[in-house]
């Protein structure tokens, strides 16, 4: 599918990779609707990009947003499923000094699963339902997974969500094929975004030191992969790792 023909939603698009994707799509002539909980940063997006507050973990919000985006753009044939959060912590930790046992909180588990998996699934469900209802084809969905899906210390919640998204990319590609809708995923490694900038500096430095290409990634690196999934009509059901060769 050519980018200029897209009427596409980008979730988590107020900053970081999502904002970069939205801008690149807009520059290519696509109609773009961006959703995010950060209304201040949404307002700062370039003119011509549609924007509205969206909490993907809220089912009613997702349903309303997809309806609005389709009406605003005069149709809908794409989704970049990008919204995500981090709430990193070991599942169980013993304090070296006090011996106190600390556990990953239920709130932090639910927050990450709610946005990164349940919310992402709601988005796919509603976007595909709308496309099928309208008879729109072809259609394309890009899920943002992560190389953390293979497992990463201190990220049980994030790993669970991103692994499930990669697995469901395969599942949904088969479910939606009769409707002419492709589903692919991109799994970034360590990328320079506001989310990773908030990481513990020691952990961040250790990760960067293990990247064979010798640098942290930038959003443009991931956009190249997203663009490929959107444009290549023979790509379906797979996840592309874009991580500089990082082994976590």
| 61 close to 119: Cβ distance less than 8 angstroms | no
The residues pairing with 94 across neighbouring beta strands, listed in sequence order, are 101
Rounded to the nearest 5°, which phi and psi values hold at 49? -95, 125
If phi > 0 it is left, if psi is from -120 to 50 it is alpha, else beta; for residue 121 that is: alpha
Neighbours of 199 (CB within 10 A): 14
Please give the angle made by the CA atoms of 92, 94 and 96, to the nearest 5 degrees. Answer: 155
Rounded to the nearest 5°, which phi and psi values hold at 75? 135, 175
If phi > 0 it is left, if psi is from -120 to 50 it is alpha, else beta; for residue 229 that is: alpha
Identify whether 160 is preceded by a cis peptide bond (ω within 30 of 0): no
**Is 234 considered catalytic here?**
no
Radius of gyration of the chain (CA): 18
| 128 close to 149: Cβ distance less than 8 angstroms | no
Of 21, 65, 122, 158, which is the active-site residue? 158
The residues pairing with 53 across neighbouring beta strands, listed in sequence order, are 36
Which residues does the annotation mark as catalytic?
A: 158
């Amino acid at each position: 599918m050519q980018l200029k023909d897209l009427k596409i939603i980008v979730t988590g698009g107020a900053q970081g990779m999502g904002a970069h994707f939205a801008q690149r799509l807009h520059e290519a002539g696509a109609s773009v609707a961006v959703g995010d909980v950060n209304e201040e940063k949404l307002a700062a997006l370039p003119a011509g990009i549609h924007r509205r507050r969206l909490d993907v973990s809220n089912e009613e919000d997702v349903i309303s947003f997809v309806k609005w985006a389709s009406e605003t753009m005069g149709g809908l044939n794409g989704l970049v499923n990008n919204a995500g959060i981090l709430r990193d912590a070991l599942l169980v930790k013993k304090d070296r000094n006090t011996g106190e046992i600390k556990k990953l909180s239920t709130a932090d588990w639910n927050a990450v699963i709610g946005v990164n998996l349940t919310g992402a699934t709601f988005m796919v469900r509603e976007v595909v339902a709308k496309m099928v209802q309208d008879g729109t084809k072809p259609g394309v969905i890009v899920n943002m997974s992560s190389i953390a899906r293979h497992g990463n210390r201190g990220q049980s919640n994030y790993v669970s969500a991103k692994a499930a998204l990669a697995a469901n990319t395969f599942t949904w590609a088969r479910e939606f094929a009769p409707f002419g809708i492709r589903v692919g995923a991109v799994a970034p490694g360590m990328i320079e975004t506001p989310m990773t900038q908030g990481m513990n500096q020691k952990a961040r430095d250790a990760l960067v030191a293990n990247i064979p290409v010798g640098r942290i990634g930038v959003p443009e690196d991931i956009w190249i992969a997203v663009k490929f999934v959107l444009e290549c009509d023979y790509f379906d059901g797979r996840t592309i790792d874009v991580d500089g060769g990082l082994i976590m």
